[in-house]
């Protein structure tokens, strides 16, 4: 049947089971929005306060559900406002399809009103992108975009459609969506056998888990693998929840703000089994000193990650879940009692702790964990609160921490929490922010109230850019250049002005009361938590240092005394 380009866009979304789209209309995309209006009973559109919020919401939806997130924007500034969100998704391998519109084909290249080469702009930060100038190619292009976004290592795909294509007609025939297959073609039996022999011969194996294990939905296979090997487990920020944070074999995060147990344990291990992690600089520290006693076995779906940051002894390329299944089939039960005893000794000697003289970030995160019993989706912004959320909330299931790891996007979490809540309506969703991050996209509270999306926004408010200030304290002689936010902004009044409930707290008892009230209200709530500007994230590894050189506040005090 003959359909307009706009009708084809909507039908292709329906083919792929898309029920929620985030976006903001404008001139060149009006044809698509007009068609979307006719299908509002099938596809819910969330009008965000800003296009960046739409991209982050689509990203949060994708991370929480495992589905492809979709966002819309018009040409020019509408399209460029998506860029930070697209880059965030790219760095963390999130399946996203961004659909933008552009000026009509005759106007391209003429500096027309709101014309921008968004395909050129986003080329380095998308898995692939398209500009559609022929309506006959539109349906197949959109279908390809969804396949590319989900195949292998996921990522964002941009489809830019000229306005005349959205109005022109072409023949459309409905097709069943192509379901991407798990990447198994590069899993070699010889690599599996080598890995099995390495694992069997290791006396001090350590398992290091990254976001690839979450993306692959390999948590069951990972648990079996861990128990068969009888090895301790550390994770990255993106790997949270792939292995149960309450398990006795779990030792916490690795790297700059990882636990002393994980950092020292990986330094002592003789085999580091890396499952879907890319060895970022924040994890590795000094690469020449990283896991120097260990042979590194890296398992990853993306061959480009092998030997990119850390040289491996051996590797297996392929879907994480499939690789772990094959390894589990060939491994017999192993025991490493002496090694586990050593790790337990480190855990007992170096637990995560804090000494609150008044309300502080770790205490807030622990209280959220206690009240929810860990059954919540936590989204975060970026900074000290993000690290406290990683350290003191024990993620028991995958897709329960929604955070910007690779790009470190301040302003990400609020939009992402909206997307996560819409994707997982039965889950409690809490966005934890610092005051600096919250300022960036706090206008999305208006989005939450417009649709009565009952997110809980916790602002850990120290009136400074906390993580930057922490570096200034430790490495820049306490020269606090442009990191003090001690102004007259009132987040409670702002929340109320946007239609949300605002509550300010200064003690842990007040926070508990406010948080329980927020759960009961089932409406957007902003809790402004006043903490001390001197609070810091511990432990820490100085940039460029070996992760074995992790230190705490107590270590600094001893050093200064000497």
Residue 138 phi/psi, 5-degree rounding, is -65, -50
Question: Which DSSP letter does residue 309 get?
Answer: S
Could you confirm whether 491 is annotated as catalytic? Answer: no
Could you confirm whether 51 is annotated as catalytic? Answer: yes
Distances (CA, A) of 313 to 200, 262, 511: 15, 21, 49
Q: 337-371: b or e for each residue (b if 16 or more CB lie within 10 Å)?
A: eebbebbeebbeebebebeeeebbbbbbbbbbbeb
Take residue 420 and report the two structure tokens written for it: 């996560």
Distances (CA, A) of 10 to 14, 44, 74, 137, 138: 6, 12, 16, 15, 11
Could you confirm whether 114 is annotated as catalytic? Answer: yes
Q: Give yes or no for a contact between 486 and 463, defined as CB atoms under 8 angstroms apart.
A: yes
Active-site residue, from 38, 113, 123, 554? 113
CA atoms within 13 A on the CB side of 388: 28
Distances (CA, A) of 40 to 11, 14, 320: 13, 12, 38
Active-site residue, from 14, 114, 308, 512? 114
Distances (CA, A) of 389 to 36, 401, 539: 38, 9, 14
Active-site residue, from 35, 146, 150, 163? 163
Could you confirm whether 163 is annotated as catalytic? Answer: yes
Which residues, including other chains, have CB under 8 Å from residue 554's CB and lie 6 or more apart?
A: none
Which residues on adjacent β-strands are paired with residue 100?
A: 73, 160
Could you confirm whether 540 is annotated as catalytic? Answer: no
Q: Where are the alpha helices (DSSP H) in 233-291?
A: 260-268, 281-284
Instruction: Find the angle CA(414)-CA(416)-CA(420) to the nearest 5 degrees.
Output: 120
- Before 485, cis peptide (omega within 30)? no
Which residues on adjacent β-strands are paired with residue 271?
A: 205, 295
Active-site residue, from 238, 256, 410, 467? 467
Q: How far apart are the first and last CA of the chain?
A: 82
Q: 476-491: b or e for each residue (b if 16 or more CB lie within 10 Å)?
A: eeeeeeebebeeeeeb
The DSSP H or E segment spanning 317 is: strand 314-317
Active-site residue, from 51, 221, 305, 444? 51
Instruction: Give the residue among 523, 139, 507 at the shortest CA–CA distance from 356.
Output: 507
* CA distance linking residue 389 with residue 368, whole number of Å: 10
SS (H, E, C) 184-206: CCCCCHHHHHHHHHHHHHCCCEE
Annotated active-site positions, please?
A: 51, 113-114, 163, 467
């Amino acid at each position: 049947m003959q359909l307009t380009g706009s009708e084809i866009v909507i039908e292709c979304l329906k083919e792929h089971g898309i029920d929620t789209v985030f976006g903001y209309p404008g001139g060149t995309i009006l044809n698509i929005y007009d068609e979307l209006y006719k299908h509002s009973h099938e596809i819910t559109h969330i009008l965000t306060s800003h296009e960046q919020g739409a991209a982050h919401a689509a990203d949060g939806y994708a991370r929480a559900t495992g589905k492809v997130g979709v966002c819309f924007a018009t040409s020019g500034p509408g399209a460029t406002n998506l860029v930070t969100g697209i880059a965030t998704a790219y760095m963390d391998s999130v399946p996203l399809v961004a659909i933008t519109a552009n000026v009509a084909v005759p106007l391209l290249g003429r500096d027309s009103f709101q014309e921008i080469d968004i395909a050129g702009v986003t080329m380095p930060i998308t898995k692939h992108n398209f500009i559609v100038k022929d309506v006959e190619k539109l349906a197949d292009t959109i279908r390809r975009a969804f396949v590319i976004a989900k195949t292998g290592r996921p990522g964002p795909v941009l489809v830019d459609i000229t306005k005349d294509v959205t109005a022109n007609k072409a023949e459309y025939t409905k097709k069943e969506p192509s379901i991407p297959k798990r990447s198994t073609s590069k899993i070699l039996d010889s690599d599996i056998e080598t890995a099995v022999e390495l694992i069997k011969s290791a006396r001090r194996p350590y398992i290091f888990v990254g976001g690839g294990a979450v993306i692959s939905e390999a948590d069951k296979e990972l648990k079996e693998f861990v128990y068969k090997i009888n090895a301790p487990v550390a994770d990255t920020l993106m790997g949270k929840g792939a292995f149960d944070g309450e398990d006795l074999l779990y030792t916490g995060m690795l790297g700059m703000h990882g636990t002393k147990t994980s950092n020292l344990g990986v330094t002592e291990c003789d085999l580091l089994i890396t499952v879907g992690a890319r060895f970022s600089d924040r994890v590795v520290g000094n690469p020449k000193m990283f896991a120097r006693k260990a042979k590194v076995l890296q398992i990853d779906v993306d061959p480009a990650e092998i030997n990119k940051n850390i040289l491996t002894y051996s590797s297996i390329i392929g879907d994480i879940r499939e690789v772990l299944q094959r390894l589990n089939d060939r491994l017999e039960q192993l025991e490493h009692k002496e090694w586990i005893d050593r790790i337990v000794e480190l855990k007992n000697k170096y637990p995560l702790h804090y000494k609150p003289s008044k309300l502080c970030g770790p205490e807030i995160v622990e209280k959220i964990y206690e009240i929810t019993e860990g059954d919540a989706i936590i989204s975060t912004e970026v900074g000290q609160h993000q690290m406290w959320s990683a350290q003191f909330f024990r993620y028991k299931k995958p897709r329960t921490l929604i955070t910007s790891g690779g790009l470190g996007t301040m302003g990400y979490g609020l939009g992402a929490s909206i997307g996560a809540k819409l994707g997982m309506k039965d889950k409690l969703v809490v966005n934890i922010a610092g005051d600096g991050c919250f300022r960036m996209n706090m206008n999305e509270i208006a989005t939450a109230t417009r649709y009565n999306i009952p997110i809980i926004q916790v602002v850990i408010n120290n009136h400074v850019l906390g993580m930057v200030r922490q570096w200034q304290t430790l490495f820049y002689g306490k020269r606090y250049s442009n990191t003090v936010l001690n102004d007259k902004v009132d987040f409670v009044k702002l929340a109320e002005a946007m239609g949300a409930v605002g509550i300010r707290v200064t003690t842990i008892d007040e926070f508990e009361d406010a948080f329980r009230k927020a759960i009961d209200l089932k409406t957007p709530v902003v809790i402004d938590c006043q903490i001390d500007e001197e609070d810091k994230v511990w432990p820490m590894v100085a940039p460029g240092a070996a992760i074995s050189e992790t230190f705490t506040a107590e270590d600094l005090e001893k050093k200064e005394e000497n």
